[in-house]
Structure 1
Amino acid sequence: MVDENTFYPSVPVLVWGTGNMGRASLRAVAAHPGLSLAAVVVSDPAKVGRDAGDLAGLDRTLGVAATDDAAAALATLDGGGAVVYAASGELRPDEAVADITRALSVGAVVVTPSVYALYDHRSAPAELREPIEKACADGGAALFVSGIDPGWGNDLLPALVSGLASEVDQIRCQEIFDYSTYDAEDSVRAIVGMGEPMDYEPPMVAPGIPSMVWGGQVRLIARALGVEVDELRETVERRALDSDVTTALGDFRAGTQGALRFEVQGIVGGEPRIVIEHVTRISASCAYDWPMPPDGGDGAHRVIVEGRPRIEVNVEATDEGGNRAAGGNATAANRLVNAIPWLRAAPPGLYDGLDVPLAPSTYLSRREA
């Protein structure tokens, strides 16, 4: 029998937030041999007191009840451990940064997808970066920020695939996604704009916002390739629904937005050499001429290297009964959670998707043992 603790010292973990990313994070912590779930923080009063296993969608209890008392939850880490900060930062960025800084200051490693500007911390504004650096130094802790779309698809994977080509003309990272079953209706409608009139400006693609969110990932890829990005450019396309559509999220009327496509382009030598593209729909019937998953399903992540040879990699992940949105969230959460042991051993500071090595799963070896 393999002694799992030989390889992974136990790390107490607080999962903060139990939405799409939080559910997946709870499952990831529960499955990891070197992590122990210490606390769960929720904001919904209806979730207070519920067992973490129930909130995670597991078929067993985990023996940890959710609380809305963040101070008490942090105290369970006893001045160390780790925090998976899965609470949304889209509409409350200042509060999210304050929560993360608080956790770092008491010595907890923090992994999170919630602060877009820190995907590439080297290009983050000093007024954001410096207080967090101080919190890391004061607490002796590390912070790793990676995206939910998923982050590894816009940093590690394209960097890896580029190494299989002798010549690279362009790298394109695509998320192709059908929002019809995504468990976040407010975001789908108000932020992405699905079901809103065509004269409505979705906040997600307001001028400058795509570059703020995904520009750091463009710069990460550029850093991996050893090139400098001259500027970032944005393109946006929207399509209206031809007919009414009813999904798990409700009714979406003809004439309202049914699809959204945008790019953040990293310009190198006057050409878009590094591109992050999102193609999103509320129904496969809308904008069917835009890129689709290879099998016609409801989601895929794709990396395309235009060069010699041309390389295309498609990744489709499913979870929670075959849902690809949940699968994408799960891979993003697993990337963050599995980084915790490495971060606990790393010097205090900020880390990104190129800094943190990919941690292979040990689940199969543990089963065989």
Structure 2
Amino acid sequence: MVLRVVQWATGSVGRAAIGAIVAHPELELVGCWVHSADKHGCDAGELAGLDPLGVRATSSVEEILALEADAVVYAPLVPSSREVAALLRSGKNVITPVGWYYPTDKETTKVEQACLDGGVSLHGTGIDPGGVTEVFPLLLSSMSSAVTFVRAEEFSDIRTYGAPDVVRSIMFFGSTPEQARTGPMLDLLSRGFTQSVRMVVDTLGIGGDVDIRPRHELAVATAPIDSPIGVIEPGQVAAQKFFWEAFVGDRLVVQIGVSWLMGEEHLEPAWTLGEEGERFEIEVRGNPDTFVTIRGWQPESVEAGLASNPGIVATAAHCVNAVPYVCAADPGVVTSVELPMVAGRAHPDLLGA
């Protein structure tokens, strides 16, 4: 049975998700919601840079709610519990990269009953958070006993992230250090990454009084730096690091971090991405230890990243590949530790007759 899927929003993740839905043999794109009135009526395939698909985008929420569909890949810039609850009550499973990875009871208040009312499920997934930061470390932990420490870390050149308004106005690159320190980014990121830390802590069974502490560091430009958001002048923020660390007493047990740099020149402190360049790293300390470096989810150049960022595509693919599993789950908020192993599907050329 083919599952009918709606794509909600057509930013970078949404456009990649449309391509992944089209390539998935168990899914069919039947609807597309867009924020911009300029996109209303456009073909969803053309919005995603594909051939026309015969699915017209709409800016009408009511039209999407009335549509017969099994699932929605919900990928706006900022999530709305109200929107998600409405989609769930309309009988559509929701898979999203913008929240609900491992929510507390308080964080599910507005959506849990909506799941039950609609007889469907809500699932948060993605890459960082949603994959590298909790799902993959936990998978690797199955190869060790007596785990004592887990680390998951991203090292990226933020110039390849094709969302200049987000980079400047939300991430506060190009701002003063004080503006970046008091801006919303740490709080916004903490909503997701804290859930990643708690998933690892709870699933491993780490007990005692666990204290999760956020940490934010930044570097400024020492000379003008050309970037997709314009020139970053000396003294303006040109690199940032965020960490979420779980302690039991004085003992560090889980560490999740991201390092985002506008290149590796003219920074104070003189940060670099290290000899290995852009990558994701996962470390599990136990018997035995495990250390994994993931490549391929960052582009080979700034220009390539602005054209198609592999990390964005991976985020969308993880959401889309989860659709059949979420649709088969019992109603409610379902996390990655409650689903079977989510797998991709073969290229259409390899599927046979």
Q: TM-score, normalised by structure 2?
A: 0.90
Contact 2:137–2:152 under 8 Å retained in 1 = yes
Are residues 287 and 351 of structure 1, via their aligned partners in 2, closer, same or farther at CA, if it must alter by over 3 Å?
A: farther
Tell me: CA distance 1:220–1:107, structure 2 relative to 1, closer, same or farther (3 Å).
Answer: same
The answer to whether the Cα contact below 8 Å between 2:23 and 2:347 also exists between their aligned partners in 1 is no
Task: Tell me how far 1:110 sits from its aligned partner.
Answer: 0.3
Letter in 1 for 2:83: D
State the shift of 1:353 in Å. 2.0
Secondary structure at the counterpart of residue 151 of structure 1: coil
- 1:292 corresponds in structure 2 to 273
Amino acid at match of 2:88: L
Equivalent position to 2:232, from 252, 256, 261: 252
Q: For the structure 1 residues 43 and 149, does the alpha-carbon distance in structure 2 shift closer, same or farther, using more than 3 Å as the test?
A: same
Q: Deviations over 1:229-265 (max 9, x none)?
A: 6111122211101111112332211210011112111
Following TM superposition, by how much is the alpha carbon of 1:133 offset from its aligned partner in structure 2, in angstroms? 1.0
Q: CA deviation at 1:213?
A: 2.9
Q: What is the aligned partner in structure 2 of residue 26 from structure 1?
A: 18
Q: Does 1:156 align with 2:135?
A: yes
Structure-to-structure mapping, 1:285-364, within 5 angstroms: 285=265, 286=267, 290=271, 292=273, 295-296=276-277, 299-318=278-297, 322-323=304-305, 326-364=309-347
Give the whole-Å Cα distance in 1 for the aligned partners of 2:136 and 2:272.
20
**Counterpart among 143, 149, 162 of residue 122 in structure 2:** 143
Distance between the aligned counterparts of 1:119 and 1:159, measured in 2?
Answer: 14
- Measured on the aligned residues, the alpha-carbon RMSD in Å equals 2.4
- Deviation of 1:274 (Å): 0.5
On the 8 A contact 1:149/1:328 being kept in 2, the answer is: no
- Where does the alignment leave 5 or more consecutive residues of structure 1 unmatched? 1-8
Q: How many residue pairs are counted as aligned between the two chains?
A: 345
Q: Distance in 1 between matches of 2:71 and 2:221?
A: 45
Q: Bigger CA drift: 174-183 or 160-169?
A: 160-169
What does the per-residue CA deviation read over 1:315-350, in whole Å, with 9 as the maximum and x for residues that have no partner? 223589853972112222211111111221211000
Match of 2:255 in 1: 275
Aligned partner of 2:198 among 180, 195, 219: 219
Work out the CA distance in 1 between the residues paired with 2:344 and 2:108. 31
> Deviation of residue 168 (structure 1)?
2.9
Tell me how far apart the structure 2 counterparts of residues 69 and 210 of structure 1 sit (CA, whole Å): 29
Q: Which residue of 2 aligns with 1:119?
A: 101
What do residues 102-144 of structure 1 show as CA deviations (whole Å, max 9, x unaligned)? 01001100001223xx2212x242xx41231111111101000
SS in 2 for 1:337: helix
| 5+ long unaligned stretches in structure 2 | none
Offset of residue 63 of structure 1: 1.5
> What is the Cα deviation at residue 196 of structure 1?
0.4
Contact 2:329 2:339 in 1 (8 A): no
**Structure 1 residues 141 and 291, CA gap change in structure 2 (3 angstroms):** farther
Moved more, 344-353 or 193-202: 193-202
1:198 alignment counterpart: 177
Residue identity in the other structure for 2:36: D
- For 1:104, the aligned partner's letter is L
